Amino acid sequence: MEAAVTALAQMADNPGHAARLAIRSGAHSTHTAGLAPGYVQANLAIMPAADAQAFQTFCQLNPKPCPMLAIGAPGDPSLPSLGKDIDLRTDLPGYRVFRDGVEIDVNDDISGYWRDDLVSFPLGCSFSFEEALLLDDIPLRHVERNECVAMYRTNIDTTPSGKFGGKVVVSMRPMKPADAIRAIQITSRFPNVHGAPIHIGLPEDIGVTDIENPAFGGAPPRMRTDEIPVFWACGVTPQVAIEHARPSFCITHRPGHMLITDLKNSHLSVI
């Protein structure tokens, strides 16, 4: 409780750091949507140095679903370029741990799994562009319902690097056509957090055969008659690539349970 009070007291000075302290103390243990408004949140992949170069190249070849914000030093759980006092072992409310491509644990503290050869890859997250959409009065119904966005596996191939490959995962937001056009304009200014949508309408064209049954995230809002589905490349794609690569060891975030940084969303806009 004391840690949570301290975090709240610091919120005015550094909301990103305060949110991390709340997560670290256990005061916040659910998804991070809406936490520390205005601050960049990141997907996360952590793997041994032996696999890091191939994964880095994979991200560089697939910047829409895998936009790298930084690369950690081997064995270092901090990320000074992204925030004060970051500890990647405790500062996300949910992690997935894999061995040989198979999930072996889901928890909120990976201190017991940390190794000196682990390299961390924080990747841009759609929460940043969602804030820009909301500021422009574009409604997001999963935000209104306080749920994670719905995410789907597609038939779109990533560009492989070594053993990393697989299909692109997308997130979907139902929108009125006029809002979809405006959303394209807004999100194209944020290439470091997935950028513009990669598909609009006709979900079956990208292999999404049952829009009511996402592979990840929350249940999708039922599509209204005046709405179309709008699909963005999603940061769960690296997790699919990891499933495909089956590295000896790997840690990722739980979908929707992100690393909150000290970077401002506004600083990622290219216009």
Domains along the sequence of the chain with CATH:
2-125+244-268 (3.40.1640.10), 127-237 (3.30.2040.10)
Q: Answer yes or no: is pLDDT of 5 > 80.
A: no
Mean pLDDT of all residues belonging to the chain:
91
Give the model confidence (pLDDT) of 115-163 as tens digits: 999 999 999 988 888 988 999 999 998 888 878 889 999 999 999 999 9
The helix (run of H) or strand (run of E) holding residue 106 is strand 102-107
Instruction: Give the integer Cα–Cα distance in Å for 228 and 211.
Output: 12
Going by pLDDT thresholds of 50, 70 and 90, the confidence category of residue 271 is low
pLDDT of res. 115: 97
Give the model confidence (pLDDT) of 33-44 as tens digits: 888 989 999 999
In DSSP notation, 208-269 reads ---TTS-SEESPPPPPPTT-EEEEEE-TTHHHHHHHHH--SEEEEEPTT-PEEEEEEGGGG-
pLDDT of res. 8: 46
Q: Where are the alpha helices (DSSP H) in the chain?
A: 2-10, 15-25, 49-61, 127-135, 141-144, 177-187, 237-245
pLDDT of res. 12: 53
pLDDT of res. 192: 84
pLDDT of res. 9: 41
Claim: this prediction has a pTM higher than 0.85: yes
Mean pLDDT of all residues in 182-193: 92
